[in-house]
Amino acid sequence: MPKKPKRGYKMISFKAYHDSDADILDWWEGCAEGERSEALRDLIRERLGLGMKPAKRLSIPELSVLQHDTAWIRQALTDMPAWLESYLHELAARPTVPMVPTSVAPARATGMADNESQRRSKRIQDRGW
């Protein structure tokens, strides 16, 4: 059986410092051995705008919907502080409506004359409520 020729390769390495690159090191340690190189290749291709290799692309419709929804949520959360700030400024700029004291409100709200309102109030007081 003929032997397959070995693929040529070039080793690429970089330093990761414990103090400033702890997040990268945590990710690295969390990757299963044997998947690290593939993960780095995917990250580099994504950064270059090449996307993943066609053989690796998944054709799961729910996955693309999830990716779209996640991007929308990320954008909404990014925009939320500025939107809330502008909304609060808008609320603060609105003129306030003066509140009518409750002792005056029933007579005016029902359209009763002042003497009718006073007569009803006296009847309620006479009943002992």
Percent of the chain whose pLDDT exceeds 70: 78
The domains of the chain are located at 13-56, 58-94
* Per-residue model confidence as pLDDT tens digits over 25-63: 988 888 888 888 888 888 888 888 887 665 555 556 777
- Full-model pTM: 0.36
57-97: pLDDT as tens digits: 555 677 778 888 898 999 999 999 999 999 998 888 887 77
What confidence score (pLDDT) does residue 73 get?
92
Which of 13-27, 33-47, 101-115 is the most confident on average? 13-27
Residues 6+ apart with CB under 8 A from 18: 25
Tokens of 40: 């780095």
Is the Cβ–Cβ distance between 108 and 100 less than 8 Å?
yes
* pLDDT of the residue at 107: 46
What is the average pLDDT score of the chain?
A: 80
Helix, strand, or coil here: 56? helix
What gap in Å lies between CA 82 and CA 37, rounded to an integer?
Answer: 40
User: pLDDT category, 16, cuts 50, 70, 90?
Assistant: very high
